[in-house]
């Protein structure tokens, strides 16, 4: 189930909100409200594959018990370390099996085939939606309790609510326990927060329907083409660049909005990433909750920037390598992470003498986004070879298909140009959807409601409604 589906919009969400606020008006305890959220979160998560609920429940139970052992009075250092190790190992094992088993076995079979050995049979493993997100959240809780930077939760229902919280369950933002610990125990429901949350949700939903979906059609057609021309390949790559941003930004805004309706304050997840003037700045603005997770739980423990240059470059390499692996079980994601690692290392090695800083700001921005764009091509491609083919098309090094003129007619229609222009403007303009939604006023509420109604009507006419981050 996704936020932009009719089932969620017209059945699940209204039922949940009515039930939740009826309980609230009856002065139900926060533990009861949390249990209600947990039940509906499990329904949301297991809508298509109910058995996945048991996987999430099992991982949640293990981490909860581990947290109790870590925080137990008089717990020895060995007990604390073993408990942390079990919590991390269980989550990484589940993530490794469900997300990377087929990828690793495929690589192993390719290797042994060169030796003339009969390949192993590979069973098909279904990727549980959102496993990367709730695994990281669970691990962050165990690590923070071990560090003493987060309070241990005593009530299992409360912790289960934190892990399964449906607004951010399948796509983030990654919310750390100490961010919402107080609100899980006691939170305030106000009309202002509910209205603010409604504005966030309405705007995010409209972003998804009017921007991500529309430019996504262009991207899919171009990447499906055998040999698009220079203009079409750049147009399609730009379309994907906008699609992945607005798809994920929209989901983050909707998640933040739903959280506000329930009294939770989730962190900002995007801050105008396409206005960055370096790759390092880009990663400070893109998927902020994931970037900060890697910073606090991997980069800093490795030594961060408090080490020598060689070690610093290795740390950057390792963090971006893990980031690439985290995004998917494909060599394209690994290479995408290393691609960004290369530019981050070059930037750090040259500091203010880096190429970016020798040009005016507009050139810095343009150069950075071209680098990002070529990286997104690698991210989007099904294989390294496909990415290389698209790069060659963008550089005019590939023979153009005879169907390229027909492709141009399909992707340069007035409506396509309009939505691409709108996506371009909202990406590079100083406008920030988070800041706009965060300031409640009557006219902003009216605008949000109007575009939501129009987007909801448009939803009934759209057959194309993917959610890209399902694969992560």
152: Cα separation from own chain's centroid: 27
Assign 300 to helix, strand or coil: coil
> What span, in angstroms and rounded, lies between the C-alpha atoms of 66 and 22?
35
Q: Which residues, at least 6 apart from 259, have a Cβ–Cβ distance to it below 8 Å?
A: 165, 167, 168, 197, 265, 266
Structure tokens at 7: 């089932």
Structure tokens at 123: 């069973």
Question: How many separate helices (H) and strands (E) can be counted in the chain?
Answer: 21, 0
Assign 369 to helix, strand or coil: helix
pLDDT for position 322: 93
Structure tokens at 311: 């070690």
Along the chain (472 residues), what's the average pLDDT of each consecutive run of 10 residues?
Answer: 85 94 90 92 86 90 93 89 94 89 82 79 78 88 91 89 88 84 88 93 92 93 90 95 93 93 91 92 92 92 88 94 89 94 89 73 91 95 92 89 87 93 90 84 91 90 72 60
pLDDT for position 472: 59
Looking at residue 28, what DSSP letter applies?
A: -
Looking at residue 275, what DSSP letter applies?
A: G
Q: Answer left, alpha or beta for residue 172, where phi above 0 means left and psi between -120 and 50 means alpha.
A: left
pLDDT in tens, 24-61: 999 888 889 999 999 999 999 888 788 888 989 999 99
CB atoms near residue 110 (< 10 Å): 10
Q: Which residues, at least 6 apart from 107, have a Cβ–Cβ distance to it below 8 Å?
A: none
Query: How do the domains of the chain map onto residue ranges?
Result: 6-187, 193-278+354-471
Rg over CA atoms, the chain: 23
> What span, in angstroms and rounded, lies between the C-alpha atoms of 391 and 404?
16
Tokens 């609100």 correspond to 183
Please list the active-site residues.
327
Is 177 exposed, middle or buried, given 0-12, 13-18 or 19+ CB atoms closer than 10 A? buried
- Residue pair 343/301 in contact (Cβ under 8 Å)? The answer is no
Structure tokens at 37: 């959220």
pLDDT for position 236: 95
């Amino acid at each position: 189930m996704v936020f932009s589906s009719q089932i969620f919009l017209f059945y699940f969400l209204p039922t949940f909100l009515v039930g939740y606020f009826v309980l609230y008006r009856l002065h139900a305890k926060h533990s009861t409200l949390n249990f209600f959220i947990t039940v509906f979160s499990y329904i949301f998560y297991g809508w298509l594959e109910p058995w996945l609920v048991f996987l999430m429940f099992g991982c949640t139970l293990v981490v909860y018990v581990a947290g109790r052992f870590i925080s137990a009075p008089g717990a020895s250092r060995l007990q604390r370390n073993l408990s942390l190790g079990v919590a991390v190992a269980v989550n990484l094992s589940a993530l490794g099996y469900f997300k990377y088993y087929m990828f690793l076995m495929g690589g192993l079979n390719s290797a042994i085939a060169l030796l003339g050995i009969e390949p192993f049979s590979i069973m098909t493993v279904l990727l549980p939606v959102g496993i990367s997100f709730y695994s990281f959240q669970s691990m962050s809780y165990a690590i923070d309790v071990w560090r003493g930077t987060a309070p241990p939760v005593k009530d299992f229902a409360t912790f289960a609510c934190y892990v399964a919280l449906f607004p951010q369950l399948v796509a983030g933002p990654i919310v750390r326990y100490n961010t919402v610990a107080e609100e899980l125990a006691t939170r305030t429901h106000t009309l202002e927060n509910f209205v603010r949350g409604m504005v966030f949700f309405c705007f995010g939903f409209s972003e998804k329907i009017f921007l991500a979906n529309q430019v996504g059609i262009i991207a899919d057609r171009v990447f499906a083409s055998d040999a698009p021309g220079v203009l079409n390949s750049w147009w399609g790559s730009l379309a994907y660049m906008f699609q992945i941003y607005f798809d994920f930004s929209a989901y983050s805004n909707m998640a933040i909005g739903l959280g506000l309706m329930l009294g939770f304050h989730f962190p900002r997840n995007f801050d105008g990433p396409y206005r960055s003037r370096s790759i390092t700045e880009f990663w400070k603005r893109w998927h902020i909750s994931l970037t900060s997770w890697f910073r606090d739980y991997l980069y800093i423990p490795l030594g961060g920037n408090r080490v020598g240059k060689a070690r610093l470059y290795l740390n950057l390499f390792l963090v971006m390598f893990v980031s690439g692996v985290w995004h998917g079980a494909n060599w394209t994601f690994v290479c995408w992470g290393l691609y960004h690692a290369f530019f981050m290392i070059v930037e750090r090695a040259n500091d203010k003498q880096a190429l970016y800083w020798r040009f005016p700001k507009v050139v810095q921005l343009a150069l950075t986004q071209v680098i990002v764009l070529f990286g997104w091509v690698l991210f989007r491609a099904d294989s390294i070879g496909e990415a290389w083919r698209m790069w060659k098309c963008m550089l005019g090094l590939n023979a153009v298909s005879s169907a390229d003129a027909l492709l141009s007619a399909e992707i340069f229609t007035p409506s396509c140009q309009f939505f691409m222009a709108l996506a371009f403007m909202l990406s590079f303009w100083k406008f920030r959807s988070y800041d706009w939604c965060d300031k409640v006023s009557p006219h902003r509420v009216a605008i949000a409601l109007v575009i939501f109604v129009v987007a909801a009507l448009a939803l009934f006419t759209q057959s194309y409604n993917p959610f890209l981050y399902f694969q992560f």
